[in-house]
Amino acid sequence: MIGRYTRPVMGAIWTPQAKFDSWLAVELAATEAWVAEGIVPAEDAKRCRETAAFTVEAVDEREKVTDHDVAAFIDVVAASIGDEGRWIHYGLTSSDVLDTALAVQLGAAGEILVEGALAYRNALVERAFEFRDTLCVGRTHGVHAEPTTFGLRLAGFAFEADRNLERLREAVDACRVGKLSGAVGTYASTPPSVEARVMDSLGLDREEIATQVVPRDRHANLLSAIALAGAGIERFATEIRHLQRTEVREAEEPFATGAQKGSSAMPHKRNPIRSERLTGLARLLRGYAQTGLENVALWHERDISHSGAERVILPDATITLDYMQSLATSLASGLVVHEDRLRSNLEATHGALFSQRALTALVESGMSRDEAYRVVQSAAQEAFDTGTHFRELIGAGAPDLDLDAVFDYDAYLAHIPEVFERLEALRT
């Protein structure tokens, strides 16, 4: 991922140095596990641990000869140790190292993503409580529908963020799996006891049954969870983009007046650039998830058609979501809400947004549903067209209706306590 969208802590997990460090951790853990089998002398394993070294540049230079990155790495590390270096990679195949090391990296990256998902969810929860009872208009198809509260709308995003948090946790845990079962996964060159010791030392689970690789449904699941988390952020960003439109202006992104510039040409502009950026990056995550799904089907016990794709999509997907989570959290925390606009827009239909309550009231009075619908629809359209308040129009056509009961904002707020009781549980 380009530096613009890479946060340092997450980016550090995916550097060439970090990759080779994780490879070395697997190789040394395996060498030490062989000591218990009576194969590798303890002093030789100690020598490997104390002297093993490499540089990224040396591995890259060696790969020009081997045309195989793991073989190049082994050559460089073994040479740095001396005679005892012959035990490096003993009994292993490349995928033992690659997949197990990848599990270590994904575990570290996953912890950051889970922390980011938690922070984003919590920011939404707090803002939802802030605007718990702040009335606003709800929209369907972008058109005014019925009253709700701004807090309820934010609560919906918060609950979605909580579901994405749980999906990420589960998907990351499912990727904390390694294998040291050798070529074709038969344990012919490395016994399960060595694998078990290595996984214990690295904090990983053992793959239940590997081929020559860890099955890629695990990685596809993680990429799908990442894409879903991105889609949730995109949904929130899309809402802000609409609300920041000049004609609406119910809420807008924080803007650093006096420093930030909204347009190179038009100084008056305050554009929803963060929300638009989040929308665009979410598209990348869906592409990465698709590629992850394509990686599941490999030939027989393994091929490497997944390898090149994973070198791109796994670092990029985790880096991108980490950036998106940080940006979305700051957007949620700093969101500027214009309560005066919320209230004025609530009146834009001249009361017609109470149409369903008027409809049900007429049905209760004995009118057929179709007739009641036509009466209410006609009055609502006249309110739109003439600016005459819907209450006045519906009252003239149905004088026996209890208009105070029909035009009652509190009727739309009755379920708020139950929703926020559940939301409170997320706080604790």
- For the chain, the domains span 1-90, 93-256+268-347, 348-427
Q: In the annotation, is 94 catalytic?
A: no
pLDDT, residue 296, reads 94
Asked if 241 and 279 count as a contact pair (C-beta separation under 8 A), the reply is yes
Asked if 230 and 286 count as a contact pair (C-beta separation under 8 A), the reply is yes
309 phi/psi in degrees, rounded to 5: -65, -45
Helix (H) or strand (E) holding 280: helix 273-294
Q: In the annotation, is 263 catalytic?
A: yes
Asked if 113 and 168 count as a contact pair (C-beta separation under 8 A), the reply is yes
Token representation of residue 180? 């040291």
CATH T-level assignment (fold) for domain 348-427 = Ribonucleotide Reductase Protein R1; domain 1 (1.10.40)
Token representation of residue 159? 């609950």
Q: Any idea what the Cα angle at residue 345 is, between residues 341 and 346, rounded to 5°?
A: 115
pLDDT by residue, tens only, the chain of 428 residues: 788 999 999 999 999 999 999 999 999 999 999 999 999 999 999 999 999 999 999 999 999 999 999 999 999 999 999 999 999 999 999 999 999 999 999 999 999 999 999 999 999 999 999 999 999 999 999 999 999 999 999 999 999 999 999 999 999 999 999 999 999 999 999 999 999 999 999 999 999 998 889 999 999 999 999 999 999 999 999 999 999 999 999 999 987 766 666 666 667 778 899 999 999 999 999 999 999 999 999 999 888 889 899 999 999 999 999 999 999 999 999 999 999 999 999 999 999 999 999 999 999 989 999 999 999 999 999 998 999 999 999 888 777 888 899 899 998 888 999 999 999 999 87
Cβ atoms within 10 Å of 188's Cβ, excluding its own: 11
Provide the CATH number for the domain formed by 1-90 in this structure. Answer: 1.10.275.10
Q: What are the contacts of 71-74 at 24+ separation with CB within 8 A?
A: 73/20, 73/23, 74/27
Among 263, 344, 365, 368, the active-site one is: 263
Helix (H) or strand (E) holding 4: none
pLDDT, residue 395, reads 87
Asked if 194 and 248 count as a contact pair (C-beta separation under 8 A), the reply is no
Tell me how far apart the alpha carbons of residues 337 and 342 are, in angstroms, rounded to a whole number: 8
Give which of 120, 156, 150, 113 is closest to 135, Cα–Cα.
150
Asked if 175 and 114 count as a contact pair (C-beta separation under 8 A), the reply is no
Among 22, 89, 94, 141, the active-site one is: 141
Which residues lie across from 178 on neighbouring strands?
A: 206
Tell me how far apart the alpha carbons of residues 87 and 215 are, in angstroms, rounded to a whole number: 27
pTM above 0.75, yes or no: yes
Is CATH 1.20.200.10 correct for 93-256+268-347?
Answer: yes
Region of residue 404 (phi > 0: left; psi between -120 and 50: alpha; otherwise: beta): alpha
Tell me how far apart the alpha carbons of residues 221 and 219 are, in angstroms, rounded to a whole number: 5
Give me the helices (H) in 82-149, please.
Answer: 94-130
